[in-house]
Amino acid sequence: MSNGSNVHVSNAPNSLLESAGDLMRLPLDLLNGGIRTTVQIVEPLAKTAIDLLGSLLNAVGQGIQGVLSIVTPKK
């Protein structure tokens, strides 16, 4: 005796497991996307900070050399 619906009870467990898998995968996908975005933001900032630090250390080194050339007695 059919009530006219096309719902197959045998597919229900598979659909339920698929939906549960999708719900579990969503937070992982969001976390993965957040990590990628963070890396894309931090990477150029870190490179710029390293370049700036290198330039600063170079300037300090040149300043020290200048002071030493003034202080050091000439022969």
Whether residue 29 lies inside any domain: the answer is yes
Q: Which segment of 4-8, 9-13, 35-39 scores lowest on mean pLDDT?
A: 4-8
Range of the domain at 61: 10-71
Q: Is 3 a domain residue?
A: no
For the whole prediction, is pTM greater than 0.85?
no
CA-based end-to-end distance of the chain: 115
In a domain, 2, yes or no: no
Distance CA 74, CA 31 (A): 64
Q: Where are the alpha helices (DSSP H) in the chain?
A: 12-71
Residue 49 CB-density burial (10 A; 0-12 exposed, 13-18 middle, 19+ buried): exposed
**CA-derived radius of gyration, the chain:** 32
Structural domains in the chain (count): 1
Domain contains 1: no
pLDDT digits (tens, 9 = 90+) for 13-55: 788 888 888 888 988 999 999 999 999 999 999 999 999 999 9
